[in-house]
Amino acid sequence: MGPCSRVLFAAGYLQTPGSSRNEGCLSFQTMTEKPAGNDVSAASLMQPEARTLREQFQKLYGEEARVFRAPGRVNLIGEHTDYNEGFVMPVAMDLYTWVAVAARKDSRVHVYSQNLRERAEMDLQDLKLRVQRHWSAYVLGVAASLRMSGAEIGGANLLVEGRVPMGAGLSSSASVEVATGYALLESSGLSRSPVDLAKICQRAENEFAGARCGIMDQMIACCGRANYALILDCRTLGFRLLPLFADAQFVVCNSMVKHDHATGEYNARRADCETATRILAEQMPGVRALRDVSLGDLERYAKLLPEVVYRRSRHVISENARVEDARGALERGDPESLGRLMSESHRSLQEDYEVSSTELDLLVGIARGIAGVYGSRMTGGGFGGCTISLVGSGAVEEFQSAVAQGYERATGRKPDIYIVRASDGVREALE
Ligand code: GAF
């Protein structure tokens, strides 16, 4: 059995500030510690985006709306481990999807996308939505999934505006799903726990958008906390909050090459992991997922696995161990160790899991050559999207300009660069 299966997580509910009807987020003892890093507090909730969206809603539907927002995320470490029932370490970012909502008297859900200037609609009486590669699957799929879970939501008018870059590996899809799900529940006077909402949204993405994603993105969009990263056990869905570093920052660089999870490669990686689990479970009856396998077990049965499946498994098993080590590094305030683990994670994703790209490797290479950088890796599903680097606070400015210049010189593309500010999960934007 793998060492990670021994890590214990505990969870309990508490009332969330800013939403009286919400059953709340899971809380841990780390909440009493003084937060490090940037402060993104709940006090600044009614941001200009929310006010503007409310006005636009008034023009579009001729009525008042409530506004909700859910964050995108960046994953510090623990990639492609969630659907193997393993460990991940995401942070909710201060990039949001905003959803304005008002209840309707009938059973229809109408949605207008502010980004795409398109509308879509469905009747909640008819849940025969087909898997569709269309933006509306992330909204209407959630409405259907809520109903399928037994939540008797009513009809609603929705206006959606996404500010999480699409196809950048920052989880724009989950932020749309979670903001929509929360808005539909609230407009119907219903509530679900954050964990249940995350599961409902994951089901919507699996069944209606055709991407067999894990639970990480929906969980962090529901349960993220300002100033903290989460270490999440994707089997039990228990998590703990981890303080960020006081004197080092996480910086995200967008390769500006889009990825697409609904295409075959992501689902193919998942299928490889399922093949490994099936074969290994025949030898070790307790194995339910790669999370239950140690590197020693893998070596013992390596000959039974196709070579590619062996390498995929080696990535997942070693990545789970790196997440556990990364937890220690954050708790000790040790950026050197975390940086090293991030670089090892990138190598494993590049060579064993084969989900990196030329542009991501280039960004990582440039980052590693800059003084004051502790480590760098691709983040998210891969095949494009973003890298995350851990940079000493004094070197962040130099890092930004060196990466921008180096990457543009090599590719002709200007990378978007974000300094990570850890934010709260889904919330209502209150006056
Ligand atoms: C995507 C998926 F949606 C997540 O569930 C996760 O598997 C991630 O890729 C890779 O770690 O974001």
Residues 72, 12 share a domain: yes
Q: What is the pLDDT of residue 329?
A: 98
User: How many angstroms does the Cα of residue 117 sit away from the middle of ligand 1?
Assistant: 28
pLDDT digits (tens, 9 = 90+) for 371-385: 999 999 999 999 999
User: How many angstroms does the Cα of residue 74 sit away from the middle of ligand 1?
Assistant: 10
Sheet architecture: strand order including 118-123:
118-123, 108-113, 156-162, 90-103, 66-75, 427-428
Q: What is the pLDDT of residue 261?
A: 57
Residue 221 confidence (pLDDT) above 70: yes
Residue 236 confidence (pLDDT) above 60: yes
Residue 411 confidence (pLDDT) above 60: yes
User: How many angstroms does the Cα of residue 261 sit away from the middle of ligand 1?
Assistant: 8
Q: What is the pLDDT of residue 1?
A: 42
* Range from 7-11, 58-62, 184-188 carrying the lowest mean pLDDT: 7-11
pLDDT digits (tens, 9 = 90+) for 74-108: 999 999 999 999 999 999 999 999 999 999 999 99
**Following CA atoms 327, 402, 169, 336 in sequence, which dihedral angle do they give, to the nearest 10 degrees?**
-10
Q: 80 in ligand 1 pocket by Cβ < 6 Å?
A: yes
Residues 364, 232 share a domain: no
Residues 372, 359 share a domain: yes
Q: 214 in ligand 1 pocket by Cβ < 6 Å?
A: yes
The whole-angstrom separation of Cα 139 and Cα 191 is: 18
Q: 216 in ligand 1 pocket by Cβ < 6 Å?
A: yes
The whole-angstrom separation of Cα 94 and Cα 72 is: 7
Residues 363, 215 share a domain: no
User: How many angstroms does the Cα of residue 61 sit away from the middle of ligand 1?
Assistant: 35
With contact defined as beta carbons under 8 Å apart, do 185 and 23 qualify? no
Residue 129 confidence (pLDDT) above 90: no
Residues 200, 74 share a domain: yes
Q: 217 in ligand 1 pocket by Cβ < 6 Å?
A: yes
Q: 2 in ligand 1 pocket by Cβ < 6 Å?
A: no
H-type helices in 11-47, by residue range?
A: none
The CATH number of the domain holding residue 41 is 3.30.230.10
With contact defined as beta carbons under 8 Å apart, do 348 and 319 qualify? yes
The whole-angstrom separation of Cα 196 and Cα 193 is: 5
Q: What is the pLDDT of residue 232?
A: 98
Catalytic residues: 217
Residues 272, 171 share a domain: no
Residues 270, 329 share a domain: yes
The whole-angstrom separation of Cα 217 and Cα 201 is: 10
CA-nearest residue, atom 1 of ligand 1: 381
pTM (2 decimals)?
Answer: 0.90
Residue 112 confidence (pLDDT) above 70: yes
- Of 20 and 122, the structure prediction assigns the larger pLDDT to 122
Q: What are the beta bridge partners of residue 242?
A: 229
Q: What is the pLDDT of residue 363?
A: 98
Domain count along the chain: 2
Residue 131 confidence (pLDDT) above 70: no
Residues 173, 194 share a domain: yes
Residues 61, 168 share a domain: yes
Residue 48 confidence (pLDDT) above 70: yes
CA-nearest residue, atom 8 of ligand 1: 381
Q: What percent of the chain has pLDDT over 90?
A: 83
CA-nearest residue, atom 2 of ligand 1: 213
Query: Domain range spanning residue 392?
Result: 248-419
Mean residue pLDDT across the chain: 89
Supply angle C-alpha 226, 257, 219, rounded to 5: 30
Which amino acid, 130?
R
Residues 284, 400 share a domain: yes
Q: What is the pLDDT of residue 139?
A: 97
The CATH number of the domain holding residue 414 is 3.30.70.890
Residues 201, 291 share a domain: no
Mean pLDDT of 105-130: 92
Q: What is the pLDDT of residue 15?
A: 24
User: How many angstroms does the Cα of residue 379 sit away from the middle of ligand 1?
Assistant: 9
Q: What is the pLDDT of residue 128?
A: 77
pLDDT digits (tens, 9 = 90+) for 147-172: 999 999 999 999 999 999 998 999 99
Residue 41 confidence (pLDDT) above 50: no
* Range from 9-18, 38-47, 116-125, 269-278 carrying the lowest mean pLDDT: 9-18
Which residues have a Cβ under 8 Å from the Cβ of 202 and sit 6 or more positions away?
A: 213, 214, 215, 218
Residues 398, 270 share a domain: yes
Q: 381 in ligand 1 pocket by Cβ < 6 Å?
A: yes
Residue 111 confidence (pLDDT) above 70: yes
Q: What is the pLDDT of residue 46?
A: 62
Query: pLDDT band for position 430 (50/70/90)?
Result: confident
The whole-angstrom separation of Cα 104 and Cα 161 is: 20
